[in-house]
Structure 1
Amino acid sequence: MKTTGNTILITGGTSGIGRALAEGFHDLGNRVIVTGRRQDLIAEIADDRPGIAGFTADMTDPASVTKLAEDVRAAFPQTNVLIANAGISRTEDVTSDEWDGSDAAAIVETNILGVLRVTAAILPILRAQSAATIMATSSALAFLPRADFPTYCASKAFLHSWLTSLRHQLRRTSVEVLELSPPYVQTQLTGASQAADPRAMPLSDYVAEVMGMIGRGDHPRGELLLERDQARRWAERDGTYDSIFAAMNAS
Structure 2
Amino acid sequence: MASRINTILVVGGTAGIGEQLVRRFHASGKKVIATGRNQARLATLAQELNGLETRQFDITDFSTLQSHAAGILEDFPDLDTVLINAGIQKSFSFFDPSSIAAGEIEREIAANLTAPTLLVQAFAPHLLSLATKGTPATLFVTSSALGLLPMGFWPNYCATKAGVHALALSLRQQIAFAGEEAKKNFNVVEIVPPYVDTELDKEHREATLAAMGENAFPPMPLQEYIDQFFKALDETETDGSLKKEIGVGTGAMVVQTWRDSFGKVYEQFGMAT
- Coarse TM-score class (shorter-chain normalised): 0.7 to 0.9
Which sections of structure 1, spanning at least 5 residues, go unmatched? 239-251
The residue aligned with 2:140 is 135
Q: Tell me the secondary structure at the aligned position of residue 106 of structure 1.
A: helix
Whole-angstrom CA distance in 2 between matches of 1:3 and 1:20? 21
The correspondence for 1:210, drawn from 199, 224, 229, is 229
Whole-angstrom CA distance in 2 between matches of 1:101 and 1:229? 29
* Per-residue CA distance 1:191-230 (angstroms, 9 max, x = gap): 17869x9911111111111111111127986111125444
Q: Tell me the secondary structure at the aligned position of residue 169 of structure 2.
A: helix
Q: Tell me the secondary structure at the aligned position of residue 26 of structure 1.
A: helix
Whole-angstrom CA distance in 2 between matches of 1:220 and 1:35? 24
Whole-angstrom CA distance in 2 between matches of 1:213 and 1:86? 21
The residue aligned with 1:107 is 108
The correspondence for 1:180, drawn from 178, 181, 191, is 191
The correspondence for 1:224, drawn from 246, 250, 262, is 246
The residue aligned with 1:247 is none
Whole-angstrom CA distance in 1 between matches of 2:140 and 2:258? 24
Whole-angstrom CA distance in 2 between matches of 1:37 and 1:67? 16
Whole-angstrom CA distance in 2 between matches of 1:213 and 1:137? 15
Aligned length: 237
For normalisation by structure 2, the TM-score amounts to: 0.79
Whole-angstrom CA distance in 2 between matches of 1:41 and 1:182? 23
Whole-angstrom CA distance in 2 between matches of 1:158 and 1:7? 27
Over 3 Å counting, the alpha-carbon distance change for 1:10 and 1:53 in structure 2 is: same
Is 1:162 the counterpart of 2:184? The answer is no
Over 3 Å counting, the alpha-carbon distance change for 1:73 and 1:237 in structure 2 is: closer
Over 3 Å counting, the alpha-carbon distance change for 1:188 and 1:63 in structure 2 is: same
Aligned-residue identity in percent? 30
* Per-residue CA distance 1:110-146 (angstroms, 9 max, x = gap): 1111101111112222223211000001000111112
Whole-angstrom CA distance in 1 between matches of 2:200 and 2:39? 19
| Alpha-carbon shift at residue 97 of structure 1 (Å) | 3.4
Which sections of structure 2, spanning at least 5 residues, go unmatched? 210-216, 262-273
For normalisation by structure 1, the TM-score amounts to: 0.86
AA of the residue aligned to 1:134: L
CA contact 2:140–2:189 (8 Å) conserved in 1: yes
| Alpha-carbon shift at residue 69 of structure 1 (Å) | 1.6
Q: CA RMSD of the aligned region, Å?
A: 2.5
Q: Which has the higher helix share?
A: 2
* Per-residue CA distance 1:26-53 (angstroms, 9 max, x = gap): 1111000011011111111101112211
Whole-angstrom CA distance in 1 between matches of 2:128 and 2:15? 28
Deviant stretches of 4+, over 3 Å: 1-5, 192-195, 218-221, 227-233, 235-238
AA of the residue aligned to 1:212: K
